[in-house]
Amino acid sequence: MRELVLDTETTGFEPAEGHRIVEIGAVELINLMPTGRTYHQYINPERDMPQGAFEVHGLSEDFLRDKPVFADIADAFLEFVGGDRLVIHNASFDMRFLNAELEWASKRRLGPDQAFDTLTFARKKYPGAPASLDALCRRFGIDNSAREKHGALLDSEILAEVYLELLGGQQPDFALSSEPEGTGAGGSAPRAPLPRRAQPLPPRLTEAERNAHRDFIATMGEDALWTRYARA
């Protein structure tokens, strides 16, 4: 399952008031694991930068002046996104801006069901508790010390960690679960196959280490997780 953890920076709060996107960042996850593939783009908003917005993200008019306008990057952005789920903190804000920009560029809009809102999810999971990105980093012990100002790609990377913690710290189960092959949890799409090396790496364990490990596992009993995995 492919997901994109996404964030934007803007000149203000409402596209209807003439505000524009100035930065988009996204991190690709497949089966809840970052692939290392990202999307990052600064955008010329073709307008001034309000002081309040500059204090949030530090992107000035001078810095953005030679960057492409949204219409010039819209096709590449849509190609990267495809039809996959967008994981966004306060999704209504970012989706409102993205769809406004897409409409102004005469491009297809993103579907309302394409976004998963981590802010709403966090508020339901921890009612009454602060649910900002910084607050969730504190809750989960995630280092966000590099976040002196908001930045779309950095915030996406941090949100990806928060998202996994919100889901319960989920990691791939290495095929130990009893799910039917071809579906993920809840009947989701099939997981992408893991790449295999053309030539397996040579073993690095000595025979003595293998024997010591086998003897240690034997002390754990028949119900040990490792024993069940070995049988599988």
Residue with tokens 């995995």: 229
Report pLDDT digits (tens) over 195-215: 555 556 666 667 777 777 777
Report the percent of the chain where pLDDT is more than 90.
68
CATH 3.30.420.10 fits 2-166, yes or no: yes
Residue 44 in tokens: 């010329």
Backbone torsions φ then ψ of 45, nearest 5 degrees: -80, -5
Report pLDDT digits (tens) over 74-131: 999 999 999 999 999 999 999 999 999 999 999 999 998 999 999 999 999 999 999 9
Residue 22's alpha-carbon distances to 40, 68, 208, 212, in angstroms, are 11, 10, 59, 58
- Among all residues, which ones are annotated catalytic? 150
Residue 7's alpha-carbon distances to 177, 179, 191, in angstroms, are 33, 33, 25
The pLDDT of residue 180 is 39
Of 115-124, 159-168, 175-184, the poorest mean pLDDT is in 175-184
